[in-house]
């Protein structure tokens, strides 16, 4: 949770200084990759947008469906459950919120309503597996598989920030590998 809050704080600081950060990243990309620097800067930006849309977009879609289930089954404090689910879905642990909600639904609702809610929660939990691969690769000039593997590996190794770092590292590495294969690798400039 602390890492999530630090990520939001860091994002706010970077967003407040977006123009200066863009110039800094442009200069850094040109320094690292020479004349192909702006292309790599655009690749990094497209990858960040793609991962953000994929992770946050899927979390919002899942939350809408989960909230509908919370309200229909009559869960007390359904709005609070929905907010908690949204945060958990962003943290990639949304199913952990659905488990106590289902248990509580079995305690307060009829068995039929509780079973229907259980099936609904399973569908909501599995949406992540279908929607994330579809939304993660949109707008990025690298294959979806590269971004998806980067997101999963980054999240496993570094948590929330790893979602972005892993995808960026693999995307840039993929483009560098292709440039190397084609024989047009960016010139190395000594530091």
| In a domain? residue 11 | no
Q: Give CA separation, 39 vs 1, 29, 171, in Å.
A: 35, 9, 12
Give 107-121 pLDDT, tens digit per residue: 988 999 999 999 999
115 in the same domain as 163: no
Please state the pTM of the whole predicted model: 0.69
Residues of the chain with pLDDT under 70: 4, 137-140, 184-191
Among 19, 43, 39, smallest CA distance to 30 is for 39
- Pair (120, 158) in one structural domain: no
* pLDDT value of position 82: 93
Q: Cα–chain-centroid distance for residue 52?
A: 5
- Do residue 56 and residue 132 come from a single domain? yes
User: Do 130 and 161 belong to one domain?
Assistant: no
Q: Are residues 103 and 121 in the same domain?
A: yes
Looking at the structure, tell me whether residues 57 and 128 fall in a common domain. Answer: yes
Pair (90, 117) in one structural domain: yes
Residue 9 placed within a domain: no
In a shared domain, residues 62 and 133: yes
Distances in whole angstroms, Cα of residue 97 to Cα of each of 44, 67, 84, 85, 120 = 33, 12, 7, 6, 14
On whether residue 109 sits in a domain, the answer given is yes
Domain span including residue 82:
48-137
Query: How many domains does the chain divide into?
Result: 2
Shared domain for 57 and 133, answered yes or no, is: yes
pLDDT of residue 186: 54
């Amino acid at each position: 949770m602390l890492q999530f809050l630090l990520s939001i704080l860091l994002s706010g600081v970077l967003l407040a200084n977006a123009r200066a950060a863009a110039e800094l990243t442009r200069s850094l990309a040109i320094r690292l990759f020479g004349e192909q620097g702006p292309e790599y800067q655009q690749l990094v930006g497209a990858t960040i947008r793609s991962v953000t849309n994929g992770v946050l977009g899927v979390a919002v879609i899942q939350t809408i469906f989960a909230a509908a289930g919370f309200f229909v089954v009559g869960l007390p404090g359904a709005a609070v459950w929905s907010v908690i689910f949204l945060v958990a879905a962003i943290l990639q642990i949304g199913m952990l919120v659905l488990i106590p909600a289902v248990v509580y639904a079995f305690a307060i609702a009829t068995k039929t309503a509780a079973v229907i809610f259980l099936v609904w929660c399973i569908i909501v939990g599995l949406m992540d597996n279908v929607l994330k691969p579809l939304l993660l690769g949109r707008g990025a000039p690298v294959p979806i598989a590269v971004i998806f593997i980067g997101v999963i590996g980054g999240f496993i190794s570094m948590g929330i920030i790893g979602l972005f770092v892993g995808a960026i590292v693999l995307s840039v590495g993929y483009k560098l590998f292709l440039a190397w294969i084609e024989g047009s690798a960016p010139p190395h400039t000594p530091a």
